[in-house]
């Protein structure tokens, strides 16, 4: 028997083992991504989750009589230092506002989750906000009063809070939930994220902040 036959069988077996391992790892990653919001479901009174083309879920649910929407958006653009996973926490309940006010930390102009760059008017950053916060609107004459933003300036003390949006359609907070492992990304260019579900302790304060901001906005219309 040719000595090449055992070698060929060994290589074939190795190739099959590697293929099966890749399939298992791919399934595990897909399951991890799809269950990214599973741990926070207990914060809501019912809800619905559907997996997006990215493999990450989008979840809607009600809390305290309000409807919330959660999205996880991976950002693997090469100009970033590390690939990132953004979580968009939205309260899509209409508000008596006449213009959008968008506060974005350290804008690069390439954020995949925001329409910040499309808003035509830039505003100065108030003294009670970090200097790296940029502010835009479509109409500076119709934005909420400065006192409203000042009352919630502490939100940006968390360096992972990226954006706060107030608009007639509702409110949104965007956070940096995760970055890819530096070592694995630099060596193997591996950008896997979302292996651990979003913890309720990370999300709950954001939900409460949105509910409080909404209450304050409504109080502007009806102080009583």
The string of pLDDT tens digits covering residues 41-72 is 999 998 889 999 989 999 999 999 999 999 99
Average pLDDT over residues 163-192: 75
pLDDT at 18 over 70: no
pLDDT at 32 over 70: no
DSSP SS3 for 50: strand
Average pLDDT over residues 116-142: 95
| Interior angle at CA 167, CA 103 and CA 42, nearest 5 | 85
Reported confidence tier of residue 187, pLDDT bands at 50, 70, 90: very low
Higher pLDDT, 127 or 82: 127
**Percent of the chain, pLDDT > 70?**
77
Nearest one of 55, 92, 46 to 70, comparing CA atoms: 92
Task: Note the pLDDT of residue 223.
Answer: 58
Task: Note the pLDDT of residue 15.
Answer: 60
Neighbouring CB atoms inside 10 A of 33's CB total 21
Q: 106 — alpha (psi -120 to 50), left (phi > 0) or beta?
A: left
DSSP SS3 for 64: coil
Looking only at the bridges linking them, the beta strands covering 121-123 and 101-105 are: unpaired
Task: Note the pLDDT of residue 31.
Answer: 65
Long-range contacts, stretch 72-80, CB < 8 angstroms, 24+ apart? 72/36, 72/37, 72/177, 72/194, 72/198, 73/112, 73/113, 74/191, 74/193, 74/194, 75/111, 75/112, 75/113, 76/191, 77/110, 77/112, 79/108, 79/110
Reported confidence tier of residue 110, pLDDT bands at 50, 70, 90: confident
* Mean pLDDT (the chain, rounded): 84
């Amino acid at each position: 028997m040719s000595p090449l036959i055992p070698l060929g069988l060994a290589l074939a077996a190795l190739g099959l083992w590697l293929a099966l391992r890749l399939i298992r790892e791919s399934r595990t990653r897909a399951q991890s991504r799809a269950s990214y919001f599973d741990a926070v479901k207990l914060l809501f009174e019912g809800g619905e989750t559907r997996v997006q083309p990215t493999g990450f879920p989008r979840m809607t649910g009600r809390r305290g009589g309000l409807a919330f929407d959660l999205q996880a958006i991976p950002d693997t653009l090469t100009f970033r230092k590390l690939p990132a996973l953004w979580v968009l926490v939205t309260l899509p309940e209409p508000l008596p506002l006449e213009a959008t006010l968008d506060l974005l930390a350290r804008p690069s102009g390439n954020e995949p989750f925001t329409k910040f760059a499309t808003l035509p008017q830039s505003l100065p950053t108030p003294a009670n906000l970090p200097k790296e916060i940029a502010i835009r609107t479509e109409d500076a004459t119709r934005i909420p009063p400065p006192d409203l933003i000042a009352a919630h300036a502490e939100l940006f003390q968390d360096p992972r809070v990226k954006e706060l949006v107030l608009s007639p359609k509702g409110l949104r907070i965007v956070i940096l939930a995760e970055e890819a492992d530096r070592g694995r990304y630099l060596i193997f260019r591996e950008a896997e994220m979302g292996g651990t579900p979003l913890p309720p302790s990370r999300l709950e304060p954001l939900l409460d902040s949105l509910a409080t901001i909404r209450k304050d906005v409504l109080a502007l219309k009806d102080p009583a």
